[in-house]
């Protein structure tokens, strides 16, 4: 069972540094959660992930449910042993896949919407998922077969996947969904949370897994605060005396909402339980999330960007597919201690990307993941040393060149 300890708070903010103890190890928070969607971090081995200093890996319930199947993963001892990862683990609930296959299907809208992506979402004949009060009926993106995810089946699948920390099944709505739908969805997510707590208690009699409730409500302050109060209050009811072990802040925001909407929620949620911001991984967003009281974050962005040649540096992003790097025989970032920067040049990686070599994704992913993991590690150290505001200012001025 999870144990969360706050070591230091940052005066005037909701930021804190702490530790999360799980059955498979201790997480120093704030911490970036490395995403291994299908029990693999694309292009990287578990040993490479460990060498980068990753503390915890998150896998995707929807994808592992479809392939190879939760039963197969259970026979392997859970997704951690399956992929040779023996540290702390998490699985999401599959709720975001309902969003991406339903309301967002065929649209340029994600958990964090920007610019022209913030438009009205209408129904599409091509949608692969349908949400009802019972759960989510969806078609597999692999073979078109029909499946029903319910709060109970999500708990059962996540139990088989064997993560230390799991999430209640929720409905992730579009950033553009109107107030009336967001309110209806919030009631549905709350009802699902109660069903998740009930089924989880039946499965986890020895308290091996920690269950996080998920806070929704879109971009509406009233609904976000209502969700935080209602989910937090579940810990005080007779039916659920212990309530949730932590909370996930689910998502649909514009980038400008991350600091405000997350802060609304964290000002209300129980202070003695960890908070995980789902699907956030850009440097500026990480600072905002920490300041707003988040302890954990997960995102596929660092490795996905890397596979397309876009790499983080202290001076901002660079794209190794640009012609100027073909004869640039310097590291991606001078002074970086990652394997890639210690052994290879921009010219070499540019060559690999232009030649469509698989090694390009590996070397670029090593650098980007190292960059984000070190960034969050440094944010933690700045909290402990009371230098957060200075570190944030100096980092963002250089990274964004402002």
- At residue 120, the pLDDT reads 32
| Mean pLDDT within 223-242 | 85
Average pLDDT over residues 191-201: 95
pLDDT surpasses 50 at 328: yes
Asked whether 328 and 53 are in contact (CB, 8 A), the reply is: no
277, 241 contact by CB (below 8 A): no
Asked whether the predicted pLDDT for residue 215 surpasses 70, the reply is: yes
Lowest model confidence (mean pLDDT) among 94-98, 153-157, 384-388, 396-400: 94-98
**pLDDT (mean) for 91-111:** 62
- Tell me the three state secondary structure of residue 36: coil
Q: In this predicted model, what pLDDT tens digit does every residue of 338-354 receive, in sequence order?
A: 999 999 999 999 999 99
Digit-coded pLDDT (tens) for 8-27: 999 999 999 999 999 999 99
Report how far residue 261's alpha carbon sits from residue 253's, in angstroms, rounded to the nearest whole number.
Answer: 8
Tokens representing residue 297 in the block: 């974050």
pLDDT number for residue 259: 81
Q: What digits encode the pLDDT tens for the residues 329-340?
A: 999 999 999 999
Mean pLDDT of 78-107: 79
Spell out the domains of the chain, with CATH numbers in brackets.
3-299 (3.20.20.105), 310-400 (no CATH)
Q: Rounded to whole angstroms, how far apart are CA atoms 275 and 260?
A: 15
Residue 96: its pLDDT value, please? 77
**Burial 48-57, CB ≥16 within 10 A → b, else e:** bbeebebbbb
Asked whether the predicted pLDDT for residue 86 surpasses 60, the reply is yes
Query: For residue 278, which of 186, 123, 200, 170 has the smallest C-alpha distance?
Result: 170
* Per-residue confidence band for 95, with pLDDT thresholds at 50, 70 and 90: confident
Q: What is the pLDDT confidence band of residue 187, given thresholds at 50, 70 and 90?
A: very high
Backbone angles phi, psi at 281, to 5 degrees: -150, 5
Cβ count within 10 A of residue 161: 26
Average pLDDT over residues 152-171: 97
Residue 103 has pLDDT above 70, yes or no: no
Q: What is the pLDDT of residue 392?
A: 98
- Asked whether the predicted pLDDT for residue 122 surpasses 50, the reply is no
Identify whether the C-beta of residue 288 lies closer than 8 Å to the C-beta of residue 318: no
Q: What percent of the chain has pLDDT over 70?
A: 90
Q: In the beta sheet, which residues pair with residue 136? A: 131, 149
Cα atoms found within 13 Å of the Cα of residue 29, Cβ hemisphere only: 33
Helix (H, G, I), strand (E, B) or coil at 105: coil
Kindly indicate the confidence band of residue 236, based on its pLDDT and cuts at 50, 70 and 90: low
Q: Give 61: exposed, middle or buried? Use CB within 10 Å, 0-12, 13-18, 19+.
A: buried
Q: How confident is the model at residue 109 (pLDDT cuts 50, 70, 90)?
A: very low
Q: What is the pLDDT of residue 107?
A: 47
Is the model more confident about 234 or about 310? 310
CA pseudo-torsion sign 11, 265, 59, 208: positive
- pLDDT of 222 above 90: yes
Q: Mean of the pLDDT values across residues 245-251?
A: 92
One-character DSSP codes across 107-176: SS--SEE-GGG-S-----TT--EEE-SS-EEEE-TTT--EEEE-HHHHHHHHHHHT-SEEE-------TT
Per-chain mean pLDDT for the chain: 91
Q: Which residues are catalytic?
A: 92, 298
- Spell out the residues 6+ positions from residue 382 whose beta carbon is closer than 8 angstroms to its own: 388, 390, 391, 392
Q: How many Å apart are CA 252 and CA 249, to the nearest integer? A: 10
Alpha helices in 251-338 (DSSP H): 257-266, 283-291, 301-307
Is the pLDDT at 97 greater than 50? The verdict is yes
Q: What pLDDT is recorded for position 127?
A: 65
* pLDDT one-digit tens code per residue, 298-320: 999 999 999 999 999 999 999 99
Q: Classify 309 in phi/psi space as left (phi over 0), alpha (psi -120 to 50) or beta.
A: left
pLDDT digits (tens, 9 = 90+) for 22-43: 999 999 999 999 999 999 999 9
Half-sphere exposure (Cβ direction) of 260: Cα atoms closer than 13 Å: 11
pLDDT for the residue 402: 53
What pLDDT was estimated at residue 81? 98
Task: Check pLDDT > 80 for residue 1.
Answer: no
Percent of the chain, pLDDT > 90?
Answer: 80
Q: What mean pLDDT do residues 252-271 have?
A: 85
């Amino acid at each position: 069972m999870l144990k969360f300890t706050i070591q230091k708070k940052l005066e005037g903010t909701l930021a804190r540094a702490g530790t999360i103890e799980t059955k498979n190890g201790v997480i120093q928070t704030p911490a970036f959660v490395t995403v291994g969607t299908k029990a693999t971090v694309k292009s990287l081995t578990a040993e490479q992930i460990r060498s980068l200093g990753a503390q915890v890996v998150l896998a995707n319930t929807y994808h592992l449910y479809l392939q190879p199947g939760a039963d197969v993963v259970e026979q392997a001892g859970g997704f951690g042993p399956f992929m040779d990862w023996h540290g702390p683990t998490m699985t999401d609930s599959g709720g975001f896949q309902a969003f991406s296959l339903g309301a967002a299907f065929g649209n340029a809208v994600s958990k964090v919407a920007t610019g022209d992506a913030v438009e009205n979402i209408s129904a599409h004949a091509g949608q692969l998922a349908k949400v009802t009060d019972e759960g989510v009926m969806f078609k597999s993106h692999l073979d078109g077969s029909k499946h029903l995810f319910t709060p109970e089946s999500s708990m059962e699948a996540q139990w088989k996947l064997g993560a230390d920390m799991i999430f209640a099944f929720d409905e992730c709505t579009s950033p553009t969904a109107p107030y009336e739908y967001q309110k209806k969805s919030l009631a549905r997510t709350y009802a699902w949370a109660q069903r998740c707590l009930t089924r989880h208690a039946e499965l986890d009699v020895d308290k091996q897994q920690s269950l996080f409730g998920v806070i929704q409500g879109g971009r509406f302050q009233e609904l976000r605060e209502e969700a935080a109060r209602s989910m937090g209050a579940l810990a005080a009811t007779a039916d659920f005396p212990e309530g949730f072990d932590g909370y996930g802040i689910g998502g649909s925001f514009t980038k400008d909402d991350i600091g405000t909407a997350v802060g609304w929620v964290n000002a209300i949620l129980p202070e003695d339980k960890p908070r995980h911001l789902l699907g956030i991984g850009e440097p500026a967003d990480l600072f905002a999330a920490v300041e707003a009281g988040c302890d954990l974050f997960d995102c596929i962005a660092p490795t996905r960007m890397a596979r397309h040649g876009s790499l983080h540096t202290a001076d901002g992003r660079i794209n190794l597919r640009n012609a100027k790097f073909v004869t640039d025989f310097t590291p991606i970032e001078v002074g970086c201690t990652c394997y890639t920067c210690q052994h290879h040049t921009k010219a070499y990686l540019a060559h690999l990307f232009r030649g469509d070599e698989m090694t390009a994704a590996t070397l670029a992913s090593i650098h980007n993941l190292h960059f984000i993991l070190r960034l969050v590690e440094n944010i933690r150290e700045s909290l402990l040393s009371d230098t957060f505001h200075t570190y944030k200012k100096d980092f963002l001025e250089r990274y964004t060149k402002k």
